[in-house]
Amino acid sequence: MTPHVPTMLLMLVVASAAMAASVVVVSWGRDDDGLRPWAAGTFLVPLAFILIALRDQIPDFFSIIVANVLLCSVFSLLLQAVCQFQGRRASGWLTIAPVVFYAAVTIFFTVFSPSIQARITAAGLMFAGQDALILAALLSRYRATVGRGRHLTVFGLAMTMLMLIYRAAITASGSVEITSILSQNHLQTASFFLWLAAVILTTFGFVFMTKERTDEINRVFAMQDALTGLANRRSLLDSLDRYVSHAERSEEPLCLLMIDLDFFKKVNDSLGHLAGDYVLVSVADIIRNRLRTQDLLGRYGGEEFLAVLPNTSLEGGCLVAEALRDSVARASIAYKEQGIPITISIGVHSATPGRKDSLAMLIGEADRALYRAKENGRNRVEACLPA
Q: In what order do the strands lie in the sheet with 296-301?
A: 296-301, 304-310, 254-261, 344-351, 381-383
Summarised one tens digit per residue, pLDDT across range 11-30 is 999 999 999 999 999 888 77
The pLDDT value given to residue 9 = 86
Summarised one tens digit per residue, pLDDT across range 52-100 is 888 888 998 898 889 989 999 999 999 999 999 999 988 888 889 889 9
Summarised one tens digit per residue, pLDDT across range 312-332 is 999 999 999 999 999 999 998
Average pLDDT over residues 134-145: 94
**Long-range CB contacts for residues 61-64, cutoff 8 Å, separation at least 24:** 64/106, 64/110, 64/119
43: phi then psi, degrees, rounded to nearest 5:
-70, -25
Summarised one tens digit per residue, pLDDT across range 269-292 is 899 999 999 999 999 999 999 999
332: phi then psi, degrees, rounded to nearest 5:
-105, 95
pLDDT band with cut points at 50, 70 and 90 for residue 166? very high
Residue 84 CA, chain-centre distance (Å), reads 11
pLDDT band with cut points at 50, 70 and 90 for residue 387? low
Q: How far apart are CA 160 and CA 300, in angstroms?
A: 52
Judge whether residue 1 has pLDDT over 60. no
Average pLDDT over residues 116-132: 90
